[in-house]
Structure 1
Amino acid sequence: MTEVNEGAVDLVEMIRGGRVESVHRGHAVICDGAGEIVEAWGDPSVIIYPRSSCKMMQALPLLESGAGRDLTQRQLALACASHQGAAVHTSTVAAWLHDLGLGESDLRCGAHMPYSDDAKADLIRAGEAACQLHNNCSGKHAGFLTLSRHLGAGPDYVEPDHPVQLAVRRAFEEVTGMESPGYGIDGCSAPNFATRLDALGAAMGRFARAREGGNPREDAMARLTAAMAAEPVLVAGEGRACTDLMRAMGGKAAVKTGAEAVFIAIIPELDRGIAVKIVDGGTRASEAVIATLLVRLGVLPAEAPVARRLTQGPITNARGKVTGGYEVRLA
């Protein structure tokens, strides 16, 4: 199995004063709905942690078990989200927990300051501390709690041997088509299962092909994809790449970032899934590559402001002067 730095190729160059200042190397793959590779850059067999890019896979048991049968699209979008802790996110998660007869203290994701500048400022002005509702993964954890309640399992749903995480691992391995070689503990304390990049891309291709009315797994895949595309603000938040990209595509695709520069896309109308990994963990590069590939496939207008911003820049300094930009290299 290839380690992440092996076989990487130059994907994004940072330009300043007409000179290449730095280069982001990585891997990318496009797969079809059967899980077959259509196009690839670098080495698609690299083993990675998908981090938050795989939240739709972590949510599969929630729907397949029947636990999430009555959940709304907004709740499903939050189950797949890395949100910024704005009021729209925290209030929706809080209401979801209330419906379960649970509260913020039942979450196991930990607290951090919201990514939303407005929400952060509100807390500071009020002299209040952030709580677990502000955690970008609180929606995913509300989904875990819903599944745990349905299974009659214990409260520590993030433990690798808990029925919730055992169900997640089964679904993850079945959809990627390979046994995971292991896991790391994610920022939200849940296990994150390693896989090959091409297996992640294949899983996204299978999500793209799934339609409601098939078997329970296809139903779950299709519902989660549709929820993400329909509720881009809940998946991330204002000004975030995921939200802006999905808005610009008008519901044609679902996209999701993950920590350490992973990015995926699910494109049902083209029967295509994409997976990207940048070796140095530079998010600006994974955003540039995913946007370039979405433009290349014709689902993201090249003239859309988010496409230009992510693939070209400009990079500006504190005085607003343009100092450089990006160039994506996809031969």
Structure 2
Amino acid sequence: MTELWRGSLLESRHTGHAVICDDTGQIVRAWGDPEAVIYPRSSCKMIQALPLVTSGAADKYGLDTEHLALACASHNGAAIHTDRVRAWIDQLGLVDQDFRCGPQIPDDRDAMYGLIRTHEQPCQFHNNCSGKHSGFLTLAAHMGAGPDYVEIDHPVQQAALAAFEETTGETSPTYGIDGCSAPNFATTLHGLARAMAWFASAADRSDRQSIAAERLARAMMLHPELVAGEGRACTELMRAMDGRAAIKTGAEGVFIAIIPEKRLGVAVKIADGTTRAAECAISAILVGLGVLEADHPATRRFMNAPILNRRGIDTGIIKPAEQLV
């Protein structure tokens, strides 16, 4: 899928799988094994957020597009993220202790240095999944369900499972516990790409699930800075595509794309779990589909990107494998 060249030598290669699926659920193109079973990790947050919208909870609590983008986010913990999460939870009458995602040192440097300077510890608001968990808490409040919303038998997670199996078109064979303590349901690459194609074609339908899917994907495209953060592939590449696609990373080398104008969904999994390879591969696929410019500065950060050493000397390149292009 992705190669790293140093000088004239192929120094590293990353294998993996990728699927492009159309709005009928059929595979348009595939690399590797489309039936490989994976955990989507954070790439499927828009599926986990579907019940937040379809239940009526989002409208009941007045959630706007920023809230919905954060519900789909793996954010950097910058002020633009944590300030909004705090306000959201305040609106619910809840506090940091009501989260079940755990504290995390923010990836945003200003936020991290701010904590260090004031000798403060990170809290759960800083967790990159706090937007998703705010959505879970909102749904739990709407349902009148208990506080342990990450438990597999909790109504919130059962609603997420139902949405996951409906959109992937598969019965999930198992689940694992994600870094934020929520269940993460397994599916095939084909199933994940099928779900993303379903999101991509949601505007063509008028059922409640599809209306919710279109709202979530649109929110991601409207607020790429909330979905990830400055310097991150999700944010930078969505900005470069100017609303033509919603994309989302997941841990262990997963990446998805929702492309409404082409009614296509994409799912990528790098076998060794390397983020740099997933970012390069998804960029190459988006370029190949004509929604991302190969020479855009954002694209060049992740695909055909120069490898600079500590003196700024160009020592090599990370690029997609020939068969991917």
Q: Which TM-score applies when normalising by structure 2?
A: 0.97
The one-character-per-residue Cα deviations of 1:58-105 (angstroms, maximum 9, x if unpaired) are 000001111112310000000000000000100000000011111111
Secondary structure (helix, strand or coil) at the match of 1:228 reads helix
Aligned pair count reads 321
Secondary structure (helix, strand or coil) at the match of 2:310 reads coil
Which residues of 2 match residues 156-235 of structure 1 at below 5 A?
A: 156-211=148-203, 214-235=206-227
Distance 1:317 1:281 in 2: 23
Alpha-carbon distance change, 204 to 256 in structure 1, aligned in 2, over 3 angstroms: same
Which residue in 2 is equivalent to 1:55? Answer: 45
- Give the counterpart letter for 2:55 in structure 1: S
Deviation at 1:37, TM superposition (A): 0.5
Secondary structure (helix, strand or coil) at the match of 1:263 reads strand
Secondary structure (helix, strand or coil) at the match of 1:319 reads coil
Which residue in 2 is equivalent to 1:262? Answer: 254
Which residue in 1 is equivalent to 2:121? Answer: 129
Which residues of 2 match residues 10-159 of structure 1 at below 5 A?
A: 11-69=1-59, 70-159=62-151
Maintained 8 Å contact 1:212/1:222: no
Q: Does 1:276 align with 2:268?
A: yes
- Give the counterpart letter for 2:143 in structure 1: L
**Unaligned ranges ≥5, structure 1:** 1-10
Alpha-carbon distance change, 330 to 71 in structure 1, aligned in 2, over 3 angstroms: farther
Distance 1:35 1:230 in 2: 26
- Give the counterpart letter for 1:168 in structure 2: A
Distance 1:34 1:328 in 2: 28
The one-character-per-residue Cα deviations of 1:30-56 (angstroms, maximum 9, x if unpaired) are 001121100000010000000000000
- Give the counterpart letter for 2:241 in structure 1: M
Q: Which TM-score applies when normalising by structure 1?
A: 0.96
Secondary structure (helix, strand or coil) at the match of 1:22 reads strand
Which residue in 2 is equivalent to 1:246? Answer: 238
Deviates more, 1:135-144 or 1:307-316: 307-316
Distance 1:299 1:312 in 2: 17
The one-character-per-residue Cα deviations of 1:280-313 (angstroms, maximum 9, x if unpaired) are 0010000000001111111111111111221111
Deviation at 1:13, TM superposition (A): 1.0
- Give the counterpart letter for 2:107 in structure 1: Y
Distance 2:319 2:82 in 1: 37
Distance 1:117 1:25 in 2: 32
Report sequence identity in percent.
60
Deviates more, 1:119-128 or 1:187-196: 119-128
Deviates more, 1:137-146 or 1:122-131: 122-131
Distance 2:124 2:318 in 1: 36
- Give the counterpart letter for 2:130 in structure 1: S
RMSD of aligned C-alpha atoms?
Answer: 0.9
**Unaligned ranges ≥5, structure 2:** none
Distance 1:247 1:120 in 2: 25
- Give the counterpart letter for 2:4 in structure 1: M
Distance 2:164 2:207 in 1: 17
Maintained 8 Å contact 1:253/1:268: yes
- Give the counterpart letter for 1:67 in structure 2: A
Distance 2:297 2:83 in 1: 30
Distance 1:99 1:309 in 2: 39
Deviation at 1:327, TM superposition (A): 2.4
The one-character-per-residue Cα deviations of 1:164-222 (angstroms, maximum 9, x if unpaired) are 00000001001000000010000000000000011000000000000187110000100
Which residue in 2 is equivalent to 1:7? Answer: none
Deviates more, 1:288-297 or 1:320-329: 320-329
Maintained 8 Å contact 1:260/1:281: yes
